[in-house]
Amino acid sequence: MQRLWHLLDWLRARLWLVPALMSAVAAAGVYLILSIDTLFPRPSGTVPWWLFGGDASTARDLLSTLLSGMITMTSLVVSITIVVLSLAAGQLGPRLIWNFIGDRQIQSVIGLFIATILYILLLLRSINESLGPEHVPQAAVTIASALAVACMFALLFHVNKLARSIVSDTMVREVADRLDVAIGALPSDSAADRSGPEETTDTPEISVDADRSGYVQFIQYEDLCATAAEEDFVVFVHLRPGGFALRGIAALSIHGKFDISPETRERLLRAIKLGHERTPTQDLEYSIRQLVEVAVRALSPSLNDPFTAIAVINRLAAALESLARRSPPQSEFRDSDGNIRVIGSRIDFADLVDIALSPLRRAANSQVTVLVVLAERLAGLAALVDGSKRETIIKHLQMVGRHAATLPEPEDQRAILAAIEPALAASAGDHAD
């Protein structure tokens, strides 16, 4: 399933897939319509007003005009898309370009234009001036005209779509929605409160080193568990999705065996998919870092857009609140007999909070408006969580407070501390109780 989801994510980010499928449908449609027209010639008589009623020469002239216009409109669509992608790369970050390319609506509009061009081109090749009036594919020519009209409206939709997509708030919302979906799909560890085997020196240990370098795109824990159960050992996974593995680094360690065969070693390494870039398949940090990149760029001197950073902080706070209510992600995998066979490297709540908020705090620097909102959201999170998660939030609140103390303006300091001090006081009271 992990390979399937990874393949679907890869296909979703390919701009050519939907246009290729729509072009194949267009080519098949031309062949089908012409075949039906050949088998069932049109009887002589009055032609309905909505159906093309000209001769072969008129049909060729019309199709030639439509083809020329469609090629021009397609060039315009591609040019607009490239300009918008360039602007988005500079304003929001180059890693968010895949969100535009993977948008199904953008792919469908480009696919409609290319499929229409292919449809008209194939239809034009099948019409010559020697055809009699009863053999002119009137339905096919009428469909070509309808497709050209549809493309004109699709052009307006495409411009509106791109105009909305480049707005930073829209991109923040879309990335945050994907983060919420990833958090909701996160498998909780039902055995989180049970202690598993510890890495000790009392049992044999075999290190399985990575055979190449790359980002860990996903790990097939079920395959590792099946191999471990078959060979009767325990696997400790030292890598996690999103991390970068160097060739020769210890990717896995095997406990309970003195030696394993080369085939078993290859099966274990095959369960760890390495690639040239990070993917969101199992990587919860992926969308978090995308949001952080948008905010950090917005706070740069070249853009100086604190309101985009505030929008990111609000969505990150909502995501962290949702994450805090869930159990830790699954890190122990058992065989059919209930024995722990695989122990993964799990990212905890404190790490995710640091990944989400520390770059923002540093980038905010003297942006008092952003620091006030950051302090307010942290204070709100501190009131909603408890235990070690609350201690993590309080630690970040204290860091924001120390940062506020370095500001030259006392009023700015008081504005930030006003949001921090109630949460710190409540935390101190809880510890006193």
Q: What are the tens digits of pLDDT across the range 304-315?
A: 899 999 999 999
* pLDDT computed for residue 150 by the predictor: 96
* pLDDT computed for residue 366 by the predictor: 81
The DSSP secondary structure of 294-309, one letter per residue, reads: HHHHHTSTTT--HHHH
* pLDDT computed for residue 20 by the predictor: 93
> Look-up: residue for tokens 């890693």?
95
Share of the chain above pLDDT 70, in %: 89
> Look-up: residue for tokens 């020329």?
68
What residues pair up with 208 in beta bridges, in sequence order? Answer: 252
Residue 403 pLDDT more than 80? yes
Residue 209 pLDDT more than 60? yes
Asked if residue 183 lies in contact with residue 284, where contact means CB atoms within 8 angstroms, the answer is: yes
* 428 burial level (CB within 10 Å; 0-12, 13-18, 19+): exposed
* pLDDT computed for residue 200 by the predictor: 45
- Residue 194: which pLDDT band, with cuts at 50, 70 and 90? very low
Give the model confidence (pLDDT) of 26-51 as tens digits. 999 999 988 887 666 655 556 676 78
> Look-up: residue for tokens 């290729």?
20
* pLDDT computed for residue 26 by the predictor: 95
* pLDDT computed for residue 6 by the predictor: 63
Taking residues 197-212, report their average pLDDT.
70
* pLDDT computed for residue 89 by the predictor: 82
Lowest mean per-residue pLDDT among 110-124, 202-216, 261-275: 202-216
Cα 412 from chain centroid? Answer: 38
Which candidate, 293, 315, 288, 290, places its Cα nearest to that of 303?
293
Give the angle 238-235-346 at the CA atoms, nearest 5°.
Answer: 40
Instruction: State the DSSP H helix or E strand holding residue 368, giving kind and residue range, or none if neither.
Output: helix 368-384
Amino acid at 405: A
Average pLDDT, the chain: 86
- Residue 15: which pLDDT band, with cuts at 50, 70 and 90? confident
Which candidate, 66, 37, 63, places its Cα nearest to that of 132?
37
Most confident of 44-53, 129-138, 195-204, 327-336: 327-336
Asked if residue 333 lies in contact with residue 228, where contact means CB atoms within 8 angstroms, the answer is: no
* pLDDT computed for residue 295 by the predictor: 94
Higher-pLDDT residue of 15 and 293 is 293
Taking residues 217-228, report their average pLDDT.
91
* pLDDT computed for residue 397 by the predictor: 93
* pLDDT computed for residue 98 by the predictor: 77
Orientation of helix 138-165 relative to helix 104-125, angle to 10°: 160
Taking residues 224-237, report their average pLDDT.
92
Higher-pLDDT residue of 82 and 205 is 82
Taking residues 339-350, report their average pLDDT.
88
Higher-pLDDT residue of 336 and 118 is 118
Residues 6+ apart with CB under 8 A from 47: 53, 138
* pLDDT computed for residue 188 by the predictor: 60
Residue 140 pLDDT more than 70? yes
Dist. CA 363–CA 367, nearest whole Å: 9
pTM of the model: 0.80
* pLDDT computed for residue 126 by the predictor: 86
Dist. CA 62–CA 294, nearest whole Å: 48
3-state secondary structure of 400: helix
Residue 281 pLDDT more than 80? no
